[in-house]
Amino acid sequence: MAKKKKGEDKEMGKVAIYPGSFDPITYGHIDIIERALEIFDKVIIAIAENAEKRALFSVEERLGMIKNVFKDTPNVIVDSFKGLLVEYVSKTNAKVILRGLRATSDFEYEFHMASMNRSLNTHLDTLFMMTSKDYFFVSSRTIKEVAKLGGGVEGLVPDHVVRRLKEKFKLPVSKKKQIGWDD
Ligand code: ADP
């Protein structure tokens, strides 16, 4: 049996880090987190602060929206980090990076990132979870594109995120736009 490192004890349990932009959080992300909680004792959601990627929501806004989703789930921690993911992970007691896969198009990038992270830290593994059939088409990017044009994203992101999107795009919060054959 591997010798325990200093500071590593039973109470810490199995911890996974779920990194991403979460701009904003969607039910696709939430589904992955809920399923991961069946496997891990704790999931740390880590918002990557990427200066090159222009985000719609500030890191503080994204932290707030995610914390709101998991306010009653003490084994979900919400945090943000700058720089290399492996360096951030090494400051925690996580051994696993969690990622979601939606399509084959996700695979190539994810395969390269997982291989690179493992070459930077051989103790780290990446665990991939397949998207659920209800959310395979959901990405933060498409949510923003649809919401910006006034399309309904209810059911794909939590209600408080729907409101924040409407505020960002200066759309009426109460008026629900329905798109149908009669329009
Ligand atoms: P997005 O591509 O939605 O902007 P993020 O950078 O926030 O995603 O993604 C964080 C992680 O969540 C990635 O591993 C991504 O593949 C995964 N993910 C995002 N949306 C979904 C979804 N609908 N189903 C499963 N995994 C997802």
pLDDT in tens, 68-122: 999 999 999 999 999 999 999 999 989 999 999 998 878 999 999 999 999 999 8
Question: Is 133 a known active-site residue?
Answer: no
Which residues surround ligand 1 with Cβ inside 6 Å?
Answer: 20-22, 26, 28-29, 32, 99-100, 102, 106, 131, 135, 138-141
166 burial via Cβ count (<10 Å: 0-12, 13-18, 19+): middle
- Which has the higher per-residue pLDDT, 145 or 8? 145
171-176's contacts with Cβ under 8 Å and 24+ in sequence apart are 171/147, 176/152
Please name the amino acid found at residue 61.
E
pLDDT of amino acid 105 = 79
Alpha carbon of 126 to those of 12, 103, 108, 153: distances in Å? 19, 17, 14, 30
Residues in the chain, total: 183
Name, in order, each residue with C-beta under 8 angstroms of 69's C-beta and a sequence gap of 6 or more: 25, 30, 158
